Structure 1
Amino acid sequence: MTVTEPPAAPAPAAPAPTPRLAARTSAVGGSPVRDILAVTARPEVINFAGGLPAPELFDADGMAEAYRAVFAEMPARALQYSTTEGEPALRAALAERARARGLVTSPDELLVTTGSQQALSLLATALLEPGDTVLVEDPSYLAALQSFGLAGARVVAVPGDEHGLDPEALEELVVRERPKLLYTVPTFQNPTGRTLPAARRAAVAEVAARRGLWIVEDDPYGELRYEGERVPWIAAHPGAEDRTVLLGSLSKIMAPGLRLGWLRAPEGIRRACAVAKQAADLHTPTVNQLAAARYLADRDLDAHVRRVAGVYGERRDAMLAGLPDALPDGSVWSRPEGGMFLWVRLPSSYDTTALLPEVVRHDVAYVPGAPFHAGEPDRSTLRLCFVTQTAEEIAEGLRRLGTALRA
C-alpha cells in the first residue's frame, strides 16, 4: 500500500505593509525643547532650556484646599462630564479678571481649553485649510509653528526689531500674501522676552481692520511684570474688537499641571472652536476647572502673582549681571520687563546648535535659536529661561556656559 504524503503547506505570505503615516507628522517634527529636556534631565545639569515655572513658588496648600472643598461640597459634579464651553463659575471668574484689566468681557465670550496650547490647535482646525498663509513674528513661539505646520499652513515671518514686529512690514505682507491670520505674543514674548509698544499694537489693529485679517493674541506671560507699566492688549484697541482671538492661561501664574487655558473670541470662531474641541477631548477636566474657580474665589491670585513676579525679577537681574562675563565679546541680549525668557545673539561665527553638545558636557543647557524662526534661522541666537533656578544656580550656570563657549 502506497502512502501519499500530504502536499507541503505553502510558505506564509509576508505581511502587507501598514499604511503610511500622514506626511504632516514627519514634515513638522517634534519639539527641540522637549528633546533637550530629555537629554539634560540629569540633576547636575543647570538647565536654562526649559520654559518651566519655578515649582517652589506654586501655592500647593491653596490648591490642595480648593480641591478638598470641591470634593467635600460637590463630588458628583466634580467627577462628571461638563459642558464643552467650560464650567460657568470659572468662565465668570476669568471674565472678571479680563474686565479688571481693561477688556469688557462676558463669560459667554470665553471657551475654556486644556491649556492655551489646545487653543492654538483648535484655532488651526477652525481657521486654516492646507496651503493657507499664517503670519508670525520673527522669531516666534515654537509650539505655534508646530500647530500651524500640522494644519498644512504656509508660515511667513514678519520682519521686526528689538521692539517687535514692524506694522509697515506687516501691511506689505498682508497685501502680498493674503494671509488668514497673524499670530503674536506681544507681551514678554517667547522666545525673545520683548514687548510690543502700545503705538505698534494700535497700528496692528488698524492694519487688521483695514485689510481683513484675524489676529491671534497669545498672552501667557503678561501678568508676570516686574518692571514698567502694563500695555493694553491688542484686543482692546479700536478696530480689533471683531477680529482678535485673545488666548490666556493659568499655567504660568498658578500651575501648568492644571492644564487650564482659555480663548476669548467673536461668536462665529468661538463656536467653530467649540465644535473642534468636542472632537478633540469633549471638555477640559471638570475637577480642575472647579478647583481653579474655587481658588479664584477664596484666594488672592493677584497677590500670589506679585510674589512670583518679584522672585522672577530678582532672577532676571542675576542673569543679566552674569552675562557680560559669560558671553564672548560682541554678544547682545534682551532685557525683558517681565516673563520668563531672555534672548541672546552671539557673534556671527558661533552656531549655537552645533555648540550645544559641548555646552551640555559642561552640565549646563540652553535652547538654540534656530527652531524659533519660520524663515532663514539666525544660528548665532539662543534662548535662556531664568525663572527656574536660584540666583546662586544662575551664577554657576553662567560660569559653566562661559567655560563651554571659550572651549
Structure 2
Amino acid sequence: MDRYIPPVGRWKLARRTQQMTHSALRELLKVAERPDMISFAGGLPSPDALPLARVAEVTQRILHAEAIGALQYGPSEGYMPLREAIAERFTRNGSPVRASQVLITTGSQQALDLVARVLIDQGSRVLVETPTYLGAVQAFSQYEPSFEQLASDADGLIPELLSPAQLHDVRLLYTQPNFQNPTGRRLPLDRRRQLAQLALETGLLVLEDDPYGDLVYEGGPLPPIHSMAPDAVVYLGSFSKILAPGLRVGYLVAPEALMIKLVQAKQASDLHTAGLTQRIAHQLFTEGFLEPHLHALRARYREQCKVMLTSLGLHMPLGVTWTRPEGGMFLWVTLPPQLNALDLFDAAMQAGVAFVPGAAFYAVEPRHNTLRLSFTTSTPEQIRRGIETLGRLVTARLSGLS
C-alpha cells in the first residue's frame, strides 16, 4: 500500500516529495553567517580569494566580443571550447578524455542529481563512505535508494573489505577521494588502485566527486580513480571551490554510452547551463590565470589550516581527536562518546562560534559526537579565538559530566 501523502493546501504532492528534506547545512548557514559570528560552518571559498576584478574584466570582454552567443540558448552538452579544455587537461594529466565525454552542469550538485536520476530506482543499493557528503545524500534520497555505509577509517573507505557478493546489484559507489567533505581525509594511492580494480572486475560504477583535488597543500596530487578505470567511473568536477561558486559551473566526465542518458536528463532539467558563466569559466581556465590563482589559494588555505590545527592542539582537552588534512577546506573533530555535538552547537552559537554537527553527514547510523570545521573563511585571529572558545565549552561539558 502506498504511504499516505498529506495534501498541501488543495494539492496532493508526489510521493517522492517525502524524500525531499531541507539541507541541514543550508538552514544552519542562515544563522551561522551573521556578521558577528566566527563561522567554521560553511564550506565557502574565502571572500578575499574571489577573483572579482578578473571576472569583471573577462565578463566585459565576452559581452563585447560575443554577447549573442553568451546570452542565447546553447547546446545541452555545454560550451564546446570549455568541454575541449577540460578534456585536454585530463589528457595532459595522463587520463585521455574526449570532449564528447564531458557534460557541463549547473554546479556539481546538478551533476549528482543527473547521475542519480539516470541510475537510481526505488530500492536501488547505493554505497557511500562513513561519513559522506551531505549534498550527495540529499540529491540521491529523492529517488529512494537503499543506502549502505562502507567501512571507513582515517584514510577513507577500505576497498579490501568489499566482497564481490556485496557489490552484486549495486547501482553505484559514491566517493570523494580528495580531502573529503566533511572529514578532509584523502584516499591513498593503493586504495584508489584497489577500488578501480574492483570496479573493472565486478562492473561496479564508481561516482568520483572531486571538487577539492586542486586544493592540495601537502604531499602533491594523486591520480584520480578515473585514470585507472575510465570505463567504470563517472568523474565530477567543479569551478566553485577554485574560482567562484556563483558562476554555477561544474562538469562530469562519463563513458559515452552513459552520456546519452545524462544529456537527456540535462535537457529535461534546464536545457543547458548558462552560456555567459561557461564562457567566463573558460577564459579563467585557459588564459594562464588559473595556476597562479591556485598557488595563492593554496598558500592562504594552508596557513589557515595550520592555525586551526595548532589551536586545536592548544585548547582541546584529552579525549578529543581530529583529522589533519593535506588539502581541501575541512577537518573533522570527534568528541568523547558521552558528548553530543548538537548540544555543543547550541552553546557555541550563543558564544558567537558556528560549526556543523556531524550527524547530518551519515546516510545511516549517525554519530552524534562528531562535528565539521571549515577553516577557509575565517582570519587566523578569528580561528584562534573561535577554537579557544570551542575548547573551553568542550572542557566545561566534560567537567559537568565527571
TM class, shorter-chain normalised? over 0.9
Q: Distance in 1 between matches of 2:190 and 2:47?
A: 36
Q: TM-score normalized by structure 1? A: 0.93
What is the aligned counterpart of 1:44 among 36, 48, 57?
36
Whether contact under 8 Å (1:86, 1:284) holds in the other structure is yes
Secondary structure, counterpart of 2:313 in structure 1? helix
Partner SS, residue 377 of structure 1: coil
Residue 105 and residue 305 in structure 1: after superposition, are their counterparts in 2 closer, same or farther (change >3 A)?
same
| 1:284 aligned partner | 273
The answer to whether structure 1 residue 189 and structure 2 residue 189 are counterparts is no
Q: Distance in 1 between matches of 2:210 and 2:8?
A: 48
2:178 aligned partner, one-letter code: T
User: In 2, are the aligned partners of 1:136 and 1:158 still within 8 Å (CA)?
Assistant: yes
Say whether residues 1:222 and 2:213 are aligned partners.
yes
- Larger-Rg structure: 1
Q: Aligned equivalents of 1:22 and 1:384: distance in 2?
A: 36
Amino acid at match of 1:43: P
Name the CA distance, whole Å, in 1 between partners of 2:269 and 2:369. 38
Q: What is residue 340 of structure 2 aligned with on the other side?
A: 351
Q: CA shift at 1:65, angstroms? A: 1.3
Aligned to 2:148: 156
Verify the 8 A CA contact 1:66 1:292 in the aligned structure 2: no
Contact 2:19 2:144 in 1 (8 A): no
Gaps of 5+ in 2: 1-6, 397-402
Structure 1 stretches of 4+ with a deviation exceeding 4 A read none
Query: 1:34, 1:16 → 2: CA distance?
Result: 23
CA contact (8 A) 1:348 1:380 kept: yes
The question of 1:236 aligning with 2:227 is answered: yes
1:4 is aligned to: none
Aligned to 2:139: 147
User: Shift of the alpha carbon at 1:102?
Assistant: 2.3
- The alpha carbon displacement at 1:16 in A equals 11
Amino acid at match of 1:107: A
Question: Aligned equivalents of 2:392 and 2:320: distance in 1?
Answer: 15
Unaligned 5+ runs, structure 1: 1-14
Indicate the residue corresponding to 2:91 in structure 1: 99
Alignment of 1:96-135 (within 5 A): 96-135=88-127
| Shift in Å, 1:168 | 2.2
Question: 1:294 aligned to 2:294?
Answer: no
Q: Distance in 2 between matches of 1:32 and 1:334?
A: 22
Question: 2: distance between equivalents of 1:294 and 1:318?
Answer: 34
Structure 1 CA distance, aligned partners of 2:27 and 2:315?
25
Deviation at residue 374 of structure 1 after TM alignment? 1.5
Q: CA deviation at 1:23?
A: 3.6
Q: Distance in 2 between matches of 1:33 and 1:56?
A: 22
| Paired residue secondary structure (1:348) | coil
Q: Which moved more, 1:138-147 or 1:285-294?
A: 285-294
Alpha-carbon displacement from aligned partner over 1:356-378 (angstroms, at most 9, x marks no partner):
11110000011111111112111
Q: Is the Cα contact below 8 Å between 2:164 and 2:202 reproduced in 1?
A: no
Shift in Å, 1:305: 0.6
2:198 maps to a residue whose letter is V
Correspondence 1:81 to 2:73: yes
Kept after mapping to 2: 8 A contact 1:81/1:286? yes
